[in-house]
Amino acid sequence: MHADKDFIFATIYKDASGNVISEDHVRMDIAQWTFVGTGGEQMYAAAPLWKDARLAAAQDPSGPWQDPIDVNGQSSNSFFKSKLQGLPSSVNAQIQVTSQTYTSDSFTDNLQYNGPDPNTAESQNFAALYNGNAYLSTDDTPLTAAQEALIQNNLMLNVAHNDGATTTLTTSADKQQRQVPAQPPIQFTGLTGDVFPTGTTISGSASVAAPNPGKYRVEVSLWLNGQTIAHTPLDGQSNQAFSFTLNSPGLYTVQAYAAPPVAEITSRGQPEGSFTVLVDNTVANSPYKKAAWEALQIGGALGSQPADPVQRNRRITELYANMYNQNKNGGGDHYFKWAGMAAFVSKGVGDAMHSAGVGGALLGIADLAGVQKVPLLGSTKDVRDTISKSYDLLAEGNWDIYMDIYPTFLAYTDRNGRGIKNVQDMLNAGQIGRDLMTAWQTIDAGIRANPVNDTMLWQAVQEMAVYEQRRVLQSRIFDPNRAFWTSFVQNYGSYLTSAVPRSNAFLSVVPVGDIGSADDRIKWFTNDLFPKFQTWVANNPADINVQTLLAGGYN
Amino acid sequence: MRFHSPTTGPMLVTTLLLSIGCTAGQSTGPATSGPSDAHHEDQKRAEKLSQISVDLLGSISTLEGHVWPRAFDWVFKRPDQPVLATAVDKPHDLIVRLPGGRILRHFSKLTSFTQYSAVIVSVDLVPNRHLLRYQQAVSDLERLLAEWDAEPTEVTKARIADWKKYGDLSPDGALSQPGSATIHGEKKADIFFEVRPTQGGWFLSVTLQATEDQREPLLGLRGNPTTRASAPRVRPDK
């Protein structure tokens, strides 16, 4: 049955001669109701979003994020709208969406007739399902009404707690309902770790964690650097076995895609799942580098490390803040001040990465609209290349610093109680250099002093920060892209700020400075960021509230 | 660091990122081929480059060709102190005099220096002008160590042997590959190095570093914590 705004059902009574005696006509609107995604494609189920990420996006101090188009230019399987074809614009209809998990959690939306077809209406805003327990350590309770209003107002996004949403369409004539279920997760079994030396063969199987997993046909592929390098045979297994040999170092993703029979596609959609694997001999052979990688897991699940750099950045930010919070003396003085400062800096990097991601998405739209040139800025291709580059550079720097320095924190705080000796072992194994070791000797001496020597602990902040600037950032991020950064600061240096509370913009501290120059960045750090963080700690002796930090609440 | 938009939120930030498109991509470019060619080219250029020389474990005043910046020290609350580290970020001819008397000389694209108590404890150089393919970086590392009469530690030797089996690794998503080496006849300094990935290729980062027993007296870790600040301060000559 197709959409028809004036479908007539008639009952006609005739005599034996075929003459019409009477007629009863029932006229009805037949509207076709579907759910569509950001690209207009039909959706049968939605992948739930991370509750805290939506809140953080709505509360970002530099402005709310541009959800739901913030998907790095890619189609999303999370955002959906109701689409009704064959509904006359004269019908006054409203949509109410209710969480299947919490019936008190609901929202209403209006239908709009904005398209070329006057009889096709779409809900005004995109909607999404969310949860908390699948991500990090956050709670899984429903958002409060105020939080939902914040997300609705700032992100133009309606949200409902999963495990699905019941959508009710009410018109003056009747009431209809449809379900948007949450996609079931893909379950990997048999994988025994998520970091391996080169040459390792990993084996396991993947299936859909749904009531009837046998209905799905699962395919598994291995990805490295954005390319598929191996995949399972397309033999239609519902519990698909796989075996891949990881020959070279890198960050791999085992991805599984489940296709139900076409007749079943509306029940739970087409689930996807991934398992992240790091292949690196140094990491695999270093207990603390390995532990740093494993610390990135979500909820302690193997292979759950975020492959998306923005999500990974958020996890790194949280880990830095936790390291700061959890190591202090009885008087509440924090030992690892660098970790506290790094949490703020990492949060700022995440904001910048997000901005670059949004830019990429907007350019994708510009391309679709046929825009070839952005006034004053150059061709969209050039601009996209630049955005892509800045995004990648920020992601690289954040990841590089984390994998370089965070393992030494894990070494020092290891429950084996060997403290600085564990860091010394990393030095002896050629895993770190002496400048980082020296910073740890300074911290160790400061902690061991009676009373704790705060001067030494602050000195170590300088040593680690300068080490990071000099070694990690300058050689890898700034110097190979010197022209890029020089140009950036020449044009927009006044906007280059740090997330350290109350800190000043780069150019106001280093007039005519060059952000690509290590000396200029060290001046910024030495003359402004460092003393501003000292002041912040003096005024805020308590722990860093991770949620407040991620939401941009410290200024 | 973040790109902050004071007025209009992320849309403006986006614009800022968009706006640098015309000048982007002027990096060192993709990895070059021919390790020995690149090395000789660097050597030739080194002859015409400015010269930077320094004594490892010498005073910061031994740094010639670059001025060591000074600033207020917010840890010890003292004005006009040498900053912890400084960098020369234009290609140059680097000469490092080791404590044992040997002199090492090499082209450097970028060198940074770290001091404690106004004594230089580490010199970190990037010895290649261009980004390299992975195997080029590994072979250049071995050449450099041999040139400096340095020998990888046992654990590092095994690591390098592994690296040679990888072929030309893509730098995307890869982590730095670290290692250390001793310098024959030099007791007060050794080498830490990394084969590092960046966009478009690999590069070497090599650190000549004073050993811990030489650093410890400079750190002021025992006794009066102000030792470091009260150590003799020498104003750079240049």
Does any domain span residue B26?
no
- Inspect the interface and report whether the beta carbons of A355 and B14 lie closer than 8 Å: yes
Distance CA B17, CA B1 (A): 14
Same domain, A400 and A352: yes
Does any domain span residue A451?
yes
What pLDDT does residue B233 have? 34
Last residue of a domain, one of A181, A199, A232: A181
Half-sphere exposure of A138 (CA within 13 A, CB side): 26
Give the total number of structural domains in chain B: 1
A87 and chain B in contact, CB less than 8 A = no
- Per residue, the 3-state secondary structure of B206-231, as one string, reads EEEEECHHHHHHHHCCCCCCCHHHHC
b/e B3-31 (16+ beta carbons within 10 angstroms → b): bbbeeebbebbbbbbbbbbebbeebbeeb
Q: By residue range, what is the domain housing residue B213?
A: 35-230
Q: How close does chain A come to B1, measured CA to CA in Å?
A: 5
What is the overall mean pLDDT for chain B? 78
Measured between CA atoms, the residue of chain A closest to residue B220 is A442
Measured between CA atoms, the residue of chain B closest to residue A466 is B85
Does any domain span residue B9?
no
Percent with pLDDT over 90 in chain B: 58
Q: By residue range, what is the domain housing residue A25?
A: 1-30
Q: How close does chain B come to A259, measured CA to CA in Å?
A: 30
The amino acid occupying position A118 is: P
Q: From the list A283, A351, A534, which residue is nearest B175 (CB)?
A: A283
Angle (nearest 5°) at CA A384 between A378 and A389: 120
b/e A382-403 (16+ beta carbons within 10 angstroms → b): bbbebbbbbbbbbbbbbbbbbb
- Inspect the interface and report whether the beta carbons of B221 and A442 lie closer than 8 Å: yes
Q: In CATH, what number is assigned to the domain containing residue A256? A: 2.60.40.10
Does any domain span residue A296?
no
The answer on pLDDT for A462 being more than 50 is yes
- Inspect the interface and report whether the beta carbons of B74 and A530 lie closer than 8 Å: yes
Does any domain span residue B85?
yes
Does any domain span residue B18?
no
What pLDDT does residue A167 have? 77
Maximum CA extent, chain B: 61
Does any domain span residue A291?
no
Does any domain span residue A298?
no
Contact A324, A225 (CB under 8 A): no
Does any domain span residue A552?
no
Q: What average pLDDT does this structure show over A124-149?
A: 72
Same domain, A57 and A169: yes
Q: How close does chain B come to A69, measured CA to CA in Å?
A: 13
- Inspect the interface and report whether the beta carbons of B114 and A435 lie closer than 8 Å: yes
What band does A373 get if pLDDT is binned at 50, 70 and 90? very low
Contact A459, B228 (CB under 8 A): yes
A&B contacts, CB < 8 Å: 303
B108 and chain A in contact, CB less than 8 A = no
Same domain, A274 and A322: no
Same domain, A504 and A358: yes
Percent with pLDDT over 70 in chain A: 80
Could you list the beta-strand ranges (E) of B47-188: 51-55, 70-73, 78-82, 85-88, 92-97, 103-108, 110-116, 119-126, 150-152, 177-183
Of A484-488, A545-549, B167-171, give the lowest mean pLDDT range: A484-488
Same domain, A279 and A401: no
- Inspect the interface and report whether the beta carbons of B75 and A459 lie closer than 8 Å: yes
What pLDDT does residue A134 have? 52
Query: First vs last Cα of chain A: how many Å apart?
Result: 58
Summarize pLDDT for B165-175 with one digit per residue, the tens: 989 988 887 88
Same domain, A405 and A501: yes
B226 and chain A in contact, CB less than 8 A = yes
- Inspect the interface and report whether the beta carbons of B2 and A431 lie closer than 8 Å: no
What pLDDT does residue B14 have? 25
Same domain, A152 and A269: no
Contacts of A149 (CB under 8 A, 6+ apart): none
Q: From the list B24, B27, B75, which residue is nearest A458 (CB)?
A: B75
pLDDT tens by residue, chain B, 238 residues: 333 333 323 222 222 222 222 222 233 445 644 444 455 555 555 557 999 999 999 999 999 999 999 999 999 899 999 999 999 988 999 999 999 999 999 999 999 999 999 999 999 999 999 999 999 999 999 999 999 999 999 999 999 999 999 899 888 878 889 999 999 999 999 999 999 988 789 999 999 999 989 988 888 765 444 434 333 333 333 3
Residues 404 to 433 of A: which have CB under 8 A from any B CB? 404, 429-433
Does any domain span residue B22?
no
> What's the whole-model pTM score?
0.76
Q: From the list B18, B24, B153, which residue is nearest A359 (CB)?
A: B18
Question: Positive or negative, the Cα torsion across B45, B50, B51, B56?
Answer: negative
- Inspect the interface and report whether the beta carbons of A348 and B2 lie closer than 8 Å: yes
Could you tell me which of A227, A230, A109 has the C-alpha nearest to residue A219? A230
Burial class (CB in 10 A: 0-12, 13-18, 19+), A317: buried
Does any domain span residue B179?
yes
Same domain, A261 and A385: no
Q: What average pLDDT does this structure show over A330-338?
A: 91
Distance CA A543, CA B188 (A): 42
Q: From the list A345, A387, A455, which residue is nearest B1 (CB)?
A: A345
Same domain, A51 and A143: yes
Q: How close does chain B come to A421, measured CA to CA in Å?
A: 13
Query: Phi and psi for B109 in degrees, rounded to 5?
Result: -80, -30
Does any domain span residue A295?
no
Give the total number of structural domains in chain A: 4
Same domain, A38 and A154: yes
Q: What average pLDDT does this structure show over A284-302?
A: 91
Same domain, A25 and A35: no
From chain A, the residues in CB contact with B72 under 8 A are 526-527
Does any domain span residue A290?
no
- Inspect the interface and report whether the beta carbons of A470 and B114 lie closer than 8 Å: yes
Q: How many CB atoms lie within 10 A of CB B83?
A: 22
- Inspect the interface and report whether the beta carbons of A198 and B166 lie closer than 8 Å: yes
B149 and chain A in contact, CB less than 8 A = no
Does any domain span residue B21?
no
Last residue of a domain, one of A217, A251, A285: A285
Measured between CA atoms, the residue of chain A closest to residue B182 is A430
Same domain, A375 and A523: yes
Does any domain span residue B76?
yes
- Inspect the interface and report whether the beta carbons of B196 and A475 lie closer than 8 Å: yes
Does any domain span residue A487?
yes
Q: From the list A429, A474, A523, which residue is nearest B155 (CB)?
A: A429
